[in-house]
Amino acid sequence: MEIVLVGLNHRTAPVEVRERVSFTADQARRASEELRSKGILEETLVLSTCNRSEVYGVPPETSRECASGLSTFLSEFHSVRLEVLNGSLYHHYDREAVRHLFRVAAGLDSMMLGEAEILGQVREAYRVAHEQGATGPVLNRLFQGALEVGKRVRSETELGTRPTSVASAGVKLAERIFGKLDHRSALVLGAGAISEQVIAQLRDRGIARLYVTNRSRERADSLAKQYAGEVLPWGEWEKALPMPDVIVSSVAAEEVVLRREIVEQAMQQRANRALFLMDLGLPRNIDAGVGKLYNVYLYNIDDLTEIVAQNRHARENEIPKADSIVEEHVGRFLSWQASVELVGLINELRTKMREERAQFIRARVESIKHLTEADRACVEKMMDDLLEGLLLEPAQRLRGEKDLRRKIHNVEALRHLFLSNREKP
Amino acid sequence: MHFTLFISTAVAYALSFALYLIFLNTGKALTGRLGTLLLAAGLVTHYFALLERSRGLHTVPYHDLYGSMSLFGWLLALTYLGLELYHRQRSVGALVLPFVLVFFVAAHLAPADKLSPPEAHGPSFALHVALSILAYSAFALSFVLSLVYLGEERLLRVHKLGDVVWRLPPLELLDRMSRSSVLVGLVSITIGTALGFLWVDRLSNKYSFYDPKYAITLLVLLLYVAYFRLARTTAWRGARASKLCVFNFLIVFLSFTVVNFYLSHSHRYF
């Protein structure tokens, strides 16, 4: 029983290759079926996200041979030449495959260190494969372990707690002032890519009302439609200033868009309720003097970038803690794997010894003519008892072995000494 | 106080403080919940410690520094627990528990007077004392919350977030918690003072009607009413209201120390 993993990710493959080898949900199901029907794998799971495509499996034969079969399969399945893939694919087996998956689930292998989405993607991939019947005892155990690792890393470390993008940092800062945003409103000036990122974050954090304004009405309409917001005509948004609690500005303008006097007036109208402003424009859209107004919190792109850098650094400091959780679970999984292998090994040894016993009796005991059937049965029983007795002590010692490495080593040694001409179970 | 009760209360509060501190640093929900449980356990053992003291006096322990400080610590913890449950916010626990612990331990270390029955007792008098100390502890809590607000607000304004700001409660929540706490204090001090005036008649042969404590209590009441009203107005909303809350508590502190020790005839420890 071995685990094999073949895949590529943002570190090994450029986006042009990644997009060609990614799986849709239907493709993942189909690939799983084909891999099992062709006898390449007995258990399969396809994990495909925007940054990685990985196939996990339990092969029926030795995994290294299977890995080359898997590479060929991926090449054929996606109609990508094998030479193109070979430079990008990585192959991991057993311990390394387990560690890799656990690191993926923990967010340690993500492009954005500690990102939370990957755990949901691992959970979804496992659900799909499990429902399809593509997983078996090994992958079930492996992926349940991975989900546990992901949850532990998120609850016991700060790997995923702090925002690491300008948009999410800004929205999290708004939450530092207002708490939950579900009864707050936001006005977004500009409808470019960065505005969209902020809008997505605001919607994700449950903002109650969202207003979008842009010089090009068409783009504002499109964004408002996509994120269930309202569009304010470009010339009229100043009238609405007293309403929002959060103002985001990302407009391409040479001059200041939001002057101090306008905000001061708006603050009077909103009875000095706190106002949070994110100036994401370059050159800056909001007069720096606005930040000096009472109960007004102004952050520009540099402020937010610096916060993001600090948070990234803080996340990196959490890597050793997260890695130790990963290693703990890798150990647990291998211990389980070794104990399962041990049971199989003992059963195999028993079968082999009984076969030897049967041959021995045929060759030696049956030539002794004066033995009756009852005598022969008695001899067979005595030999069986002797064999069981011989197996009992090493089996108990192996089960009781606390050192995982030594346990695995002993299991392998036993297999090598007594079953060297046989395949692994 | 029975030594076992002292040790178990001190240990419960200390562990609760440690857990709240870990919760503030790591954000682990389970640690926060355990902190709350230990605080509740500390409140129970602390209650029995106070009860033991009260049995000797036949009223709430107020007439020595020991009883007064211990009762203050207990009510502070109780008010905090109430606010924590009401607002579902544990981040402030690490900042409140040190005060609770200090008051509890200091009370134990303070010299206790002989347990002679005080001049005034009975349910309404007990309520007068308990509500007055509850008001002071609620005001103390709003003082702590206002300080946290001012600190966090300052860090947010100068863009120096560090590790702390991400773990503290949002400003709006701190503001709400502070006002809730002041409301508890206002209701308590109003009822407590009214009950106190009922006792003035009964003890008028012993105490002067013109105790300076009455004037400063009235001032405290007015200042907190002002805070409560101003905290929602255009001019005062936010940091200014929090500064007023901090100032108000300085008057409470003055009332609790200078006025009690040097000016009042009948309010030495509450």
CATH number at residue A189: 3.40.50.720
Among A107, A110, A101, A104, smallest CA distance to A140 is for A101
Q: Tokens 């002292």 identify what position? A: B6
User: Given A122, A140, A159, which residue is the final one in a domain?
Assistant: A159
Q: List CB contacts (< 8 A) between A155 and chain B.
A: 28-29
| SS3 at position A187 | strand
A280 within domain boundaries: yes
Beta strand A43-48 with A230-231 is unpaired
C-alpha span between A246 and A184 (Å, rounded): 8
The answer to whether the Cβ–Cβ distance between A295 and B29 falls below 8 Å is: no
C-alpha span between B236 and B240 (Å, rounded): 5
The single residue of A15, A25, A50, A386 carrying the catalytic annotation is A50
What average pLDDT does the segment B103-124 reach?
67
Edge-to-edge strands, sheet with A4-9 = A43-48, A52-58, A4-9, A90-93
Q: What is the pLDDT of residues A388-405, one digit of tens each?
A: 888 888 777 777 776 666
Q: List CB contacts (< 8 A) between B170 and chain A.
A: 175-179
Are B153 and A296 contacting, i.e. CB atoms less than 8 angstroms apart? no
Under DSSP, the state recorded for B168 is: S
Among B186, B218, B207, B225, smallest CA distance to B268 is for B207
Token pair recorded at residue A345:
């090994």
User: Given A140, A159, A178, which residue is the final one in a domain?
Assistant: A159
A314 touches chain B (CB under 8 A): yes
The answer to whether the Cβ–Cβ distance between A271 and B157 falls below 8 Å is: no
Alpha helices in A227-372 (DSSP H): 260-269, 301-316, 319-363
The answer to whether the Cβ–Cβ distance between A176 and B166 falls below 8 Å is: yes
Interface test with chain A among B92, B172, B230, B233, by most A beta carbons within 10 Å? B172
Confidence of residue A342 (pLDDT cuts 50, 70, 90): confident
What local confidence, expressed as pLDDT, does residue B204 receive? 58
For chain A, how many structural domains are there in total? 3
What local confidence, expressed as pLDDT, does residue B260 receive? 74
Claim to verify: residue A17 and residue A120 sit in the same structural domain: yes
Claim to verify: residue A211 and residue A267 sit in the same structural domain: yes
A319 within domain boundaries: no
Are B84 and B144 contacting, i.e. CB atoms less than 8 angstroms apart? no
Q: List CB contacts (< 8 A) between A325 and chain B.
A: none
Q: What is the pLDDT of residues B63-107, one digit of tens each?
A: 666 777 888 899 999 999 999 999 888 888 998 999 999 988 888
The answer to whether the Cβ–Cβ distance between B159 and A303 falls below 8 Å is: yes
Claim to verify: residue A49 and residue A180 sit in the same structural domain: no
Q: What is the mean pLDDT of chain A?
A: 88
Q: List CB contacts (< 8 A) between B233 and chain A.
A: 271
The answer to whether the Cβ–Cβ distance between B163 and A295 falls below 8 Å is: no
Q: What is the pLDDT of residues B246-255, one digit of tens each?
A: 999 999 988 8
**How far are the Cα atoms of A118, A176, A185, A315, B246 from residue B149, in angstroms, in the given order?**
36, 11, 23, 26, 11
Q: List CB contacts (< 8 A) between A179 and chain B.
A: 169-170, 172-173
A303 touches chain B (CB under 8 A): yes
Chain A closest CA to B78's CA: distance in Å? 25
A216 within domain boundaries: yes
Active site residue A66: no
Chain B closest CA to A64's CA: distance in Å? 42
What local confidence, expressed as pLDDT, does residue A422 receive? 47
The answer to whether the Cβ–Cβ distance between B170 and A273 falls below 8 Å is: no
Claim to verify: residue A155 and residue A295 sit in the same structural domain: no
What average pLDDT does the segment B261-266 reach?
70
What local confidence, expressed as pLDDT, does residue B111 receive? 63
Claim to verify: residue A11 and residue A143 sit in the same structural domain: yes
The answer to whether the Cβ–Cβ distance between B26 and A156 falls below 8 Å is: yes
The answer to whether the Cβ–Cβ distance between B172 and A274 falls below 8 Å is: yes
Q: List CB contacts (< 8 A) between B172 and chain A.
A: 177-179, 274
| Residue of higher predicted confidence among B231 and A158 | B231
Among B50, B35, B143, smallest CA distance to B84 is for B35
What local confidence, expressed as pLDDT, does residue A312 receive? 86
User: Given A138, A159, A180, which residue is the final one in a domain?
Assistant: A159
Q: What is the pLDDT of residues A227-285, one digit of tens each?
A: 999 999 998 888 888 899 999 999 988 889 999 999 999 999 999 999 999 999 888 99
Claim to verify: residue A299 and residue A384 sit in the same structural domain: no
Claim to verify: residue A100 and residue A145 sit in the same structural domain: yes
Residue ranges, comma separated, of all CATH 1.20.120 domains in chain B are 1-118
**In this model, does residue A192 exceed pLDDT 50?**
yes
pTM above threshold 0.80:
no
A269 touches chain B (CB under 8 A): no
B157 touches chain A (CB under 8 A): yes
Claim to verify: residue A146 and residue A58 sit in the same structural domain: yes
Token pair recorded at residue B142:
């709003």
Instruction: Tell me the fold of B1-118.
Output: Four Helix Bundle (Hemerythrin (Met), subunit A) (1.20.120)
When computed from its CA atoms, the radius of gyration of chain B, rounded to whole angstroms, is 19
| SS3 at position A284 | coil
Token pair recorded at residue A217:
């009405």
Range of the domain at A58: 4-159
A316 within domain boundaries: no
Residue type, B57: L
The answer to whether the Cβ–Cβ distance between B170 and A179 falls below 8 Å is: yes
Q: What is the CATH number of the domain that holds A127?
A: 3.30.460.30
Confidence of residue B201 (pLDDT cuts 50, 70, 90): low
Q: List CB contacts (< 8 A) between B241 and chain A.
A: none
A277 forms bridges with which residues in the sheet? A247, A298
A424 within domain boundaries: no
C-alpha span between A162 and B101 (Å, rounded): 32
A274 touches chain B (CB under 8 A): yes
B235 touches chain A (CB under 8 A): yes
Half-sphere exposure of B127 (CA within 13 A, CB side): 14
What average pLDDT does the segment B208-217 reach?
75
CA-nearest residue to B160 within chain A is A307
Among A210, A220, A211, A224, smallest CA distance to A182 is for A210
Are B77 and B27 contacting, i.e. CB atoms less than 8 angstroms apart? no
Claim to verify: residue A39 and residue A154 sit in the same structural domain: yes
Claim to verify: residue A141 and residue A26 sit in the same structural domain: yes
What local confidence, expressed as pLDDT, does residue A266 receive? 94
Claim to verify: residue A172 and residue A283 sit in the same structural domain: yes
ipTM: 0.81
The answer to whether the Cβ–Cβ distance between A272 and B169 falls below 8 Å is: no
What local confidence, expressed as pLDDT, does residue B78 receive? 94
Claim to verify: residue A259 and residue A348 sit in the same structural domain: no
**Phi then psi dihedrals of residue B117, to 5 deg:** -60, 130
Token pair recorded at residue B143:
């003082």
A53 within domain boundaries: yes
A310 touches chain B (CB under 8 A): yes
Q: Tokens 């849709």 identify what position? A: A24
Confidence of residue A296 (pLDDT cuts 50, 70, 90): very high
Among A76, A4, A80, A19, smallest CA distance to A53 is for A19
CA-nearest residue to A155 within chain B is B28
